[in-house]
Chains A and B, each alone.
Chain A
């Protein structure tokens, strides 16, 4: 069964902390994505990557960075967490062909206090 695994289901951090959200996929997909989901705002793309060491900004990249050192792993980094980054974070992957569907991880509910 194909899988996108996010390292934590729930995470509580303090303002100013550096936060790492990890995502691993076992489908050999080229594309990987980080979304955040907030009530009433839907799914918003933060960053995506179409290859190792490649990254592209999405719609809301401010306050975030990413790392893709290996094909199967895509990390989202909050350099200095703020309360407005409290959200559900969803990782997804897909084949390089843009017509492919997304496979999502179970999500990480991050609370920044």
Chain B
């Protein structure tokens, strides 16, 4: 079945440093979604990318979808302590209304 891999599993940065997490799928995706889960919270939808090579920004967050629609990245510029959490990417299973999630990247930001 489809596999979605994320790296790194964990990253600890100083506040103000940049952060990037990468997502790779074993299959071509029709779209990719990103979610954020704060400690003790539940995953919350951040964004969906659909087009090959698409780039979207949300304030300090930049999301990219690869040309081949098999990989994606999330880049945070100048991290803040409010960015702490686990970031998941997810892609739809072909023919199903379900998503396959990556295992997530846990981000810790020290002040």
Contacts and interface: CB of A to CB of B under 8 A. Distances in A.
Main secondary structure of the interface of A (DSSP, over half): loop
A48 B103 contact: no
A104 interface: yes
B1 to A, nearest CB: 8
Main secondary structure of the interface of B (DSSP, over half): loop
A50 B30 CA distance: 20
B97 A48 contact: yes
Given A42-B88, A42-B103, A101-B48, A33 B43 contact: no
Contacts of B99: 102
A102 B45 CA distance: 7
Contact of A50 (B33, B50, B97, B101): B97
Given A41-B103, A98-B92, A99-B92, A90 B98 contact: no
B88 A101 contact: no
A11 to B, nearest CB: 16
Contacts of A50: 97
Given A98-B92, A98-B96, A99-B48, A42 B102 contact: yes
Contacts of A31: 97
Interface of A: 31, 33, 40-43, 45, 48, 50, 56, 58, 90, 94, 96-99, 101-107
